[in-house]
Amino acid sequence: MKILVTGGAGFIGSHLVDRLIQEGYQVVVVDDLSSGKKKNINKEAAFYKMDILSKRIERVFRKEQPELICHLAAQMDVRRSVADPAFDAKTNIMGLLNLLDAAVRHGTRRIIFASSGGEIYGEQELFPAPEGHPCHPLSPCGVSKLSSEHYLYYYQKASGLEYTTLRYGNVYGPRQDPNGEAGVVAIFTQKMLKGEQAIINGNGMQTRDYVFVDDVVDANMAVINMEVAGTFNVGTGKETSVNQLYRHLLDATASTAKEIYGPEKKGEQFRSVLDWQKVNKAVEWEPRVSLEEGLTRTVAFFKG
């Protein structure tokens, strides 16, 4: 099977590409390298440097004829989405529609969409949140992800394009970019290793569901190999506060940095944790990497 991975030079996408090739799939990568890195791209993958908004995407589908799309390319910075909602919508919604139209025209039969359980649900009423939890996103980034899910449903009904939506928790691990606004584990790790001061936004009591990138790749592979459709959370079911995370990383990096607090950021919910029982029942997936192990492996990567 030939699979097109958008964002295949990025953090999660490059790990997924490596695994797909390892398991014998033919892989095509589309990435504009705005945040992804060329060094992350597996040499066995066909690579097209291209924005998902480009009209040239048609040529990729015409030449490569992918049967499946793993769509990970996105504007995923919550703070940038708050500052520029139009840019967020253009990238996340219009970029998706460009892909879907090309997919329908060229006979692609299925898409795996990387969504965000950490943004779609908003301030949770249930802990951990199941997939049926009300969706009230607090940021334009969350709104665009939710809108994308609705478009996938429409295209399935109108054109027969099958889809699976994976709502990720806060994914972390090797290759995560520490220089952007997203990715608190990577940001804290790099600063601690460099002897710089990391800043905790707000009071640090806000919680997230931190899931290691290898577990996320496992979830993708499970739904690809078993051809399961539907919407599934991919998380650990465990809440970790930013303060707790900071202290774990102090231990992992042997840093003596103090806990310094800054202003809280707009568009970020206070508590986020995902129920993963649905995907477990569907494909027997479960998170395997503990936070302590995942952070240790992440720090080792950043140390080089």
What does pTM read for this prediction? 0.98
pLDDT given at position 267: 84
Helices 11-22 and 213-226, interaxial angle, to 10°?
A: 50
pLDDT given at position 58: 98
- pLDDT tens digits in sequence order for the chain, 304 residues long: 999 999 999 999 999 999 999 999 999 999 999 999 999 999 999 999 999 999 999 999 999 999 999 999 999 999 899 999 999 999 999 999 999 999 999 999 999 999 999 899 999 999 999 999 999 999 999 999 999 999 999 999 999 999 999 999 999 999 999 986 679 999 999 999 999 999 999 999 999 999 999 999 999 999 999 999 999 999 999 999 999 999 999 999 999 999 999 999 888 899 999 999 999 999 999 999 999 999 999 999 999 9
Chain centre to alpha carbon of residue 197 = 27
256-289: per-residue pLDDT in tens?
A: 999 999 999 888 899 999 999 999 999 999 999 9
pLDDT given at position 268: 86
Q: Are 103 and 109 in contact (CB under 8 A)?
A: no
Name the phi and psi angles at 121, rounded to 5: -75, -25
Domains of the chain with bracketed CATH:
2-171+211-234 (3.40.50.720), 173-208+238-273+289-303 (3.90.25.10)
Indicate if the alpha-carbon torsion angle 254, 259, 262, 268 is positive or negative.
positive
Q: Would you tell me how many other CB atoms lie within 10 Å of the CB of residue 233?
A: 31
Distance CA 174, CA 301 (A): 6
Q: Are 70 and 5 in contact (CB under 8 A)?
A: yes
User: Where do we find the tokens 């691990």?
Assistant: 173
Distance CA 66, CA 62 (A): 9
pLDDT given at position 181: 61
136-182: per-residue pLDDT in tens?
A: 999 999 999 999 999 999 999 999 999 999 999 999 999 999 986 67
Q: Are 238 and 211 in contact (CB under 8 A)?
A: no
Distance CA 267, CA 107 (A): 38
